[in-house]
Amino acid sequence: MQKFALLIAFMFVFYPLVHGQDTKSDAEQSKRSTVLNFEVIKTQVLMPYCGSCHIEMDESEYSMETYESLLEGGESEEPGIIPGDLENSPVWTRIDEGDMPPDNLPAPPEDKLELLKRWIEAGAPK
């Protein structure tokens, strides 16, 4: 009888665990299959965290307004993004090094960074 009670207890403990994991992997899967393109990156990552200076252009020469201008870069005359090459893409390394956004403005959170990273690694599809 004790064993039976233990079994019931186990079922209650494990069901949510297993079930919880299922929903997590579902969420993970739908996250992975999100279509990544310039429009998604622009609206979800660039506009909210870089847009005040790099889209409206009141602060920097570097415009992220269009796909072409984002890849082209700014004053440095180096490309802003090298598709497929995360470590040599200033848009990524400047955030990673804590250099952008400046003035203690909020940086993109982990999930937005993950989107940006995957997009650049995937060859920055338009």
Which of 50, 60, 68 shows the shortest CA–CA distance to 113?
A: 50
Q: Which of 63, 101, 120, 124 binds ligand HEC (CB under 6 A)?
A: 101
Q: Is 58 in the site for ligand HEC (CB under 6 A)?
A: no
Q: Is 70 in the site for ligand HEC (CB under 6 A)?
A: no
Q: Is 114 in the site for ligand HEC (CB under 6 A)?
A: no
Torsion of CA 93, 96, 101, 102, to 10 degrees: -100
Q: Is 119 in the site for ligand HEC (CB under 6 A)?
A: no
Q: Which of 40, 44, 69, 94 binds ligand HEC (CB under 6 A)?
A: 94
Fill in the DSSP letter of residue 109: P
Q: Which of 40, 57, 69, 74 binds ligand HEC (CB under 6 A)?
A: 74
CB closer to ligand HEC, 34 vs 93? 93
Torsion of CA 52, 54, 55, 61, to 10 degrees: 130
Q: How far are the Cα atoms of 21, 22, 30, 70, 106 from residue 18, in angstroms, in the given order? A: 5, 6, 19, 43, 36
Give contact residues for ligand HEC (rule: CB under 6 A).
49-50, 52-54, 59-60, 62, 73-76, 78, 80, 90-91, 94-95, 100-103, 105, 108
